[in-house]
Structure 1
Amino acid sequence: MGKIAKRFRLGASLLSLLLPSLINHNAIAADNSDKILSRPVKGRDITVSLPAEKTVRITFDRYSAMIDSRRFLIWSGEFDPFRLPSPSLWQDIFEKMKAIGFNTVTIQLDWAYHSPAPGVYDFNGIRDIDRLLSMAKVAGLYVVVRIGPYADADLSRGGFPGWLTRQKVDARSDDPVYLAAVDEWLTRVNAIISRHQYDGDKGNVILYQVEDRLGDPSPVKQRYMAHLYAKARHDGITLPIFHNETGPVGDWLSVARSGEDVASLIDLHGFSINTTRFCDTQNQPLREAAPPDLGYYNLDNSASFLKRPATSLITIEDGSADYWGSNEQYNCLANSNDERHEMLILGNNLINGLTNQTLRMVYGGINWGWLGQSGRITSFDYGAPIDEARNLRPKADGLKRLGQFISTFSDITKMMPGSVIVPTSSHIRVLHNVNPDTNSHLFFITHKPANSLHDSKFTFSVALPDGTYTLPEEGNLELNGHDSKYLIAGFNLGRNRLVYSTSQFQTMITQGEHDIALFNGRQGEAGEIVLRYETKPRVTVIEGDARYF
């Protein structure tokens, strides 16, 4: 790679480079240290250990999830099948999710939907979980399953069956009557899930959630969680088990930080944050909140888990259910939580090392019958990327670009903070990560604060593997209004070297003897791509213009 194209400049929205033959970009193999594994557990009337010879296929370290020791970024969206009671349409949702860049679907199950009476369960037709999971596999999606028993999910009674409310039980506790009812549900649903859990070439379920935002880690609640964990293991569930908390430093993480034994409770920390940009009563968007730093760049050193962000699964609640008496806010929610909003939230999480994310919702659907929580209207559109009628909203385009970037830029699965970057504008923040194995660089650029609506022009200097550069060497970078950018440097595009780009890298594919790399940028903004290459690439401008320097 002796030649270098100094300042290959892009004034285009989309541009592809035809490059010589490709080096195979496989996922980076992970080391075997510092993994979180499933452990022996004890619950009420159940004691179980995983067999010594059983391989734990899904593990985590401080950087990412791993499937069979291969690094993997969980990029998931949520879909509630009971809000689309038509199995023939499930495949449509899964294929659209795959097409807009997701590699995983998070599926919430509703106990009440399957059990109209004590001891009576229905898993046929529109309630066929076995068929549902098989369809997700056909579409090429892994699955994160949320089994309850309490689900929340804007459901009536939080997903508890109606007959349970007529029993004198202390729900969400170690009450024997309540646990007996719970075990009825878990025995049946675990039998289905266990057949679909990932095991090499078989199955596609990779994570298993118990309960939702339980709170109060009292001894009673701990015994309850221990029972759910042990019941899953007893029923043959070998996947990592997690619980979804309210906020990053929740009650159950506090138990773990206190030094108490939580081996019988959870394998993986999970939590939700609400990033929705809500609308007022006149359907006007409220002011955007700056996204929180929940990982590498969080300044609270007491929250030690934030320095190991990939040991968490974060649920991003980005949208909302509408309510009776509102001004039909779904269109406003869809527009205010648009592509730029979602890129700011998701990109900020990625640069903070949160490599396991699920977006709630990708498809909302409809509250049929008595499904919905009291006060909610029938529509559960949520302002999601796939609307109630299963049409793609414009913000699905941004998710596709980001999803393609994540799947191609495999170095993102092992990143750590790099040198501090000081841009020429005090209104700009540049966060900088580096892959310790390949020395590739990732930059995430926002306003300072990130919810600012200023227009800013700036440059920044950085030492890269190929030398020290000012980005860009000609002109300026721009952030205009509600905006952010993710840029990469020091990354091999086949036999060619991407020194840096101020246009966003989207994806790369192989076609015959050539590699084709795709970059994108804002309409009217210039970009700069610097390459080292053996053979001069052929440039195709899809929109805009481009020229060599």
Structure 2
Amino acid sequence: MGDATKFSRRWAWLACAALCAALMAHGASATSDAAPVERELPSPVYQKRDIGVYSPFSKRATASSDLLSTPFTDEVQWDEYSLLIRGQRIFLYSGEFHTYRLPVPDLWPDILQKIKAAGLNGISLYTHWGSINPAPGDIDYDSFRALAPVFEAARAAGIWIVLRPGPYINAETSAGGIAHWVTSEVAGTLRTNASDYFESWQDYIHSMIEQAEPFQVTKDGPIIAVQIDNEYSQSASTGAYFEALENAYTSGNIAVPLTYNDPGEGKNFVNGTGAVDIYGLDAYPQGFDCSHPTVWNPVTTNWHDYHENTSPSEPFYFPEFQGGAFDAWGPTAPGYASCRELTGANFMSVFYKALWAANVKMASFYMIYGGTSWGAIPFPGVYTSYDYGSSIEENRALTAKFIELKLQGLFLRSSPELYKTDWIGNSTAGVVQVSNPDAFVVHLQNPDTNTSFFIARQTDSTSTAVTTFTLTATTSAGEITLPLSVDSISLDGRESKTIVTDYSYGKSGNLLYTASRP
């Protein structure tokens, strides 16, 4: 199937979905099947509730003493479910963007507006030490190195920022973004509490604080968190290094929470010296072999359990989840079209919704826009293009992946009851009743409204077969077997579906159930 055909069919689906939503808005309750429902059901009893829709930078709601926050502000709070910004609960659905890989500030609003149009509400933003501080004592925020323009563009678009200044960032950059003068002039071990390394990052981090401080959400800005360094293991020397960075931020009036991204399930910086406010886990489940884009790894199945055993009082956060793949340098490089296929719409359907199924409420996709590694930025394993096979191409064009991203993003934007859910169980454990063991279904439920979300995929997540099943759910109309008016719900190979029950939409609409995408 050609790209044009895929685009037209996806846009047709979107138009159909919009029409269905408009039709459903005429009634107080509905089911999703077009054919008449033959079974007699009790009348649904819906709870009266005001679920609202979150609006960035709006007037704050009343703060709750039951929520966690930093000692410096309650503008950003959290609990075991999700973040609350100014008292309003959010699902942080974000993408990675590097301004130094698009060194034209006038183009940054274009990327942010496209991110917003996809239904996302945040960006994760690495900054590059070597670019900003190219020589001892030399700090440069002019031209493409400026940060205020991207902060302003994010505020205008209504997009939150998790700022990630490193000092080490990796990002397939030379020395991981550490200024090259540091690698030659500092004798001590980098990324530790060595005194000469400590002195080397002072100018850079304190200048970053000066740039970021007036753009925090506490001052009506978009910055809601700052990350400490990047993908590191915890020890006495690295813990002291993290603690020194944290002290620099807090003494410099950075009031928002400090976060961390663990490269694996290592439980680093959850507790002890250098521990952060909100812990996160990175994952690239498909790896980077773009030469075999149809070969899949299975979905990781222990994410929910890992979170419950690691940081259960915090939202489950993926600071980096695979949004593409870098293409290794060399004559056998398959090219970014293959990387885009490896991490295409089917991958996004199955793996991104696997995050929902693990009860993740904060996620950022690396990359949402890759751009170009200019000058001496890239490390030797990659070439100048950093397209990354992402949803927005290097030339800023939208791809077929963008449509899947938008389907999910707009669903999340329209489904605030998903922002607070308990993980009830799955079909493998018998908690969810399904007719076919080839279908794997996880049940999430909002404890306040009883709205349920059933996330379904193939039990063998690599399977390309068609699987059909029915699902038994307890609803406000009693126990029902879904779907009601057709034989079964189908999974066409590598796809995932979300079945909802007792779902609210708009100001007064209630939907008993739907098995429609997403």
TM-score by length of 2: 0.85
Q: Deviations over 1:220-267 (max 9, x none)?
A: 2111111000000111100100121112333323xx2xxxx44x5311
Match of 2:502 among 471, 490, 505: 490
Instruction: Say whether 1:160 aligns with 2:178.
Output: yes
Contact kept, 8 Å, 1:277 with 1:285, in 2: the verdict is no
Distance 2:66 2:460 in 1: 35
Distance 2:86 2:123 in 1: 19
Match of 2:398 among 392, 396, 400: 392
Counterpart of 2:309 in structure 1: which amino acid? S
Instruction: Say whether 1:79 aligns with 2:97.
Output: yes
Superposed CA RMSD: 2.3
After the TM superposition, which residues 287-298 of structure 1 pair with which residues of structure 2 at under 5 Å, given as runs? Answer: 287-296=295-304, 298=305
Instruction: Say whether 1:237 aligns with 2:254.
Output: yes
Counterpart of 1:123 in structure 2: which amino acid? Y
Contact kept, 8 Å, 1:455 with 1:480, in 2: the verdict is yes
After alignment, is 69-78 or 15-24 more displaced?
15-24
Name 1:26's counterpart in structure 2: 52
The answer for unaligned runs of 5 or more in structure 1 is 1-9, 40-49, 506-549
Instruction: Say whether 1:310 aligns with 2:315.
Output: yes
Aligned-pair CA distance for 1:112 = 0.3
Counterpart of 1:178 in structure 2: which amino acid? Y
Classify 1:435/1:209 alpha carbon distance in 2 versus 1 (closer, same or farther; 3 Å): same
Q: Deviations over 1:39-84 (max 9, x none)?
A: 5xxxxxxxxxx4xxxx321121111111122111111100011010
Name 1:466's counterpart in structure 2: 477
Match of 1:186 among 182, 205, 225: 205
SS of the residue 1:498 aligns to: strand
Name 2:41's counterpart in structure 1: none
Distance 2:303 2:502 in 1: 24
Name 2:37's counterpart in structure 1: none
SS of the residue 1:250 aligns to: coil
SS of the residue 1:341 aligns to: helix
Name 1:541's counterpart in structure 2: none
Distance 2:133 2:67 in 1: 38
Q: Deviations over 1:179-237 (max 9, x none)?
A: 1111111111110100101026x11100100111121x222211111100000011110
Q: Deviations over 1:110-162 (max 9, x none)?
A: 00011221000110111111112111111111101101111111110111111
Distance 1:318 1:141 in 2: 18
Distance 1:238 1:187 in 2: 15
Aligned-pair CA distance for 1:31 = 8.2
SS of the residue 2:398 aligns to: coil
Instruction: Say whether 1:323 aligns with 2:328.
Output: yes
Name 2:488's counterpart in structure 1: 476
Aligned-pair CA distance for 1:317 = 2.5
Match of 2:454 among 443, 456, 481: 443
Name 1:335's counterpart in structure 2: 341
SS of the residue 2:229 aligns to: strand
Distance 2:325 2:457 in 1: 25
Give the number of aligned pairs.
467
Name 1:530's counterpart in structure 2: none
Name 2:282's counterpart in structure 1: 272
Distance 1:496 1:185 in 2: 52
Distance 2:134 2:311 in 1: 43
Contact kept, 8 Å, 1:273 with 1:315, in 2: the verdict is yes
Name 2:515's counterpart in structure 1: 502
TM-score by length of 1: 0.81
Contact kept, 8 Å, 2:288 with 2:327, in 1: the verdict is no
Name 2:192's counterpart in structure 1: 173
Aligned-pair CA distance for 1:33 = 5.7
Aligned-pair CA distance for 1:177 = 1.5
Distance 2:461 2:413 in 1: 26
SS of the residue 2:283 aligns to: strand
Counterpart of 1:458 in structure 2: which amino acid? F
Counterpart of 1:271 in structure 2: which amino acid? L
SS of the residue 1:57 aligns to: strand
Distance 1:293 1:444 in 2: 13
Classify 1:61/1:27 alpha carbon distance in 2 versus 1 (closer, same or farther; 3 Å): farther
The percent of aligned pairs where both chains have the same amino acid is 25
SS of the residue 2:409 aligns to: helix
Aligned-pair CA distance for 1:25 = 3.9
After the TM superposition, which residues 504-523 of structure 1 pair with which residues of structure 2 at under 5 Å, given as runs? Answer: 504=517
Name 1:63's counterpart in structure 2: 81
Distance 2:66 2:303 in 1: 18
The answer for unaligned runs of 5 or more in structure 2 is 1-12, 29-48, 55-60, 426-430
Distance 1:313 1:34 in 2: 24
Structure possessing the higher relative contact order (Cα contacts under 8 Å, 6 or more residues apart)? 1
Name 1:525's counterpart in structure 2: none
Classify 1:496/1:184 alpha carbon distance in 2 versus 1 (closer, same or farther; 3 Å): closer
Contact kept, 8 Å, 1:445 with 1:486, in 2: the verdict is yes
Name 1:37's counterpart in structure 2: 69
Contact kept, 8 Å, 2:287 with 2:325, in 1: the verdict is no
Distance 2:153 2:319 in 1: 25
Aligned-pair CA distance for 1:313 = 4.0
Name 1:147's counterpart in structure 2: 165
Match of 2:244 among 227, 230, 237: 227
Match of 1:374 among 380, 400, 403: 380
SS of the residue 1:56 aligns to: strand
Counterpart of 2:476 in structure 1: which amino acid? P
Instruction: Say whether 1:250 aligns with 2:267.
Output: yes
Match of 1:352 among 358, 364, 371: 358
Classify 1:481/1:306 alpha carbon distance in 2 versus 1 (closer, same or farther; 3 Å): farther
Bigger strand fraction: 1
Aligned-pair CA distance for 1:294 = 4.8
Aligned-pair CA distance for 1:441 = 0.7
